[in-house]
Every structure is written in structure tokens, then in C-alpha cells.
Amino acid sequence: MEFSIISIGKWKASPEKSLFESYLRRMPWQIQLIELDSREREDVQRQKLEEAQRLRETCKQLAVRKMIVLDERGKDWTSRELAVSLRRWQDEQAVRKVAVIIGGHAGIAAELRDESDLCLSFGKLTWPHLLVRALVAEQLYRSYCILTNHPYHRD
């Protein structure tokens, strides 16, 4: 499978970036990070709609077949449930390209959440967006390990 982590905002050298890159090095699945500029607006709703449009366009350009949106209102799944869903997409639907969407500080537009194939939550806590990238990379690596019976994941 190929994953594109598409995120609003950019980062520089940081511990979070090092952690993110360490999971990418372990991963046999192809993962790319695409960072879109944050364009803050006084009208937060307008900002979310503009970001949603840019995220949609990026997914279209990448020929993404499935879109996972991260949002606090999303499903609170276990790592195993995520892995099983990814396997189902791959095996039953021949999905190769998946996008994981991380919104900006204003959040995700409701329309984009509704259009997603999976709206997923990392719990009710608020996480820094830069750290969420590392969490996504770790969960993708964990999913791979679950699906290949690698000892990294323990039940």
C-alpha cells in the first residue's frame, strides 16, 4: 500500500520530525508527507472550507482511493481494528493509495469529514499537529506489524 499523510502546516527540524522519520525508515509500505501551507483567516469557517478544498485537490492529484480524516469526532478504534480495515481495503477492494488527512489548527470542515472513507480519532485529548504526524506513522507501522505477525504489537 501507499500512504500520503497530507497535513496543513509545515515543520522544521524537531524531535517530532525525528520520531516521524524513524517510523518511516522501518516501514516497507511507501509513505510520503505532503505539507500544505497554512493560510490563517479571521473567518475560521472560511479557512476550514478553503483547507478542505486544497486537501481534496491534493487527494485527486495523487489518485487516492481511500481517505482517512483525523478528527476528535471520529471513531475511537483500536490498532487492530485499523489494521483489519486497511487489509480489507487492500485485499477486497484492491486499494493501493490511501491518504491520511491532518487538518490545521482550525480543525476539519464537516463536509470533508462526511466525505471521508474513515473518520478516526486519537482520543478526546488534543494533540499537537506535529506530534500527530508521528502518531500516524507509528500506527501505520503498527498496522503493518499486526498484519505480518511481527512482534512489535502485542495484544
- Boundaries of every domain in the chain: 2-147
Contacts of 84 (CB under 8 A, 6+ apart): none
**What's the confidence (pLDDT) of residue 128?**
87
Q: Which amino acid is at 37?
A: D
Q: Quote the cell numbers at residue 138.
A: 507509528
Indicate the SS3 state at residue 25: helix
Averaged over 32-54, what is the pLDDT?
Answer: 92
CA 90 from chain centre, in angstroms, equals: 17
**What's the confidence (pLDDT) of residue 13?**
79
Averaged over 6-29, what is the pLDDT?
Answer: 92
Q: Quote the cell numbers at residue 55.
A: 486537501
**In terms of pTM, does the model score above 0.75?**
yes
CATH of 2-147, one of 3.30.43.10, 3.40.1190.10, 3.40.1280.10, 3.30.450.40: 3.40.1280.10
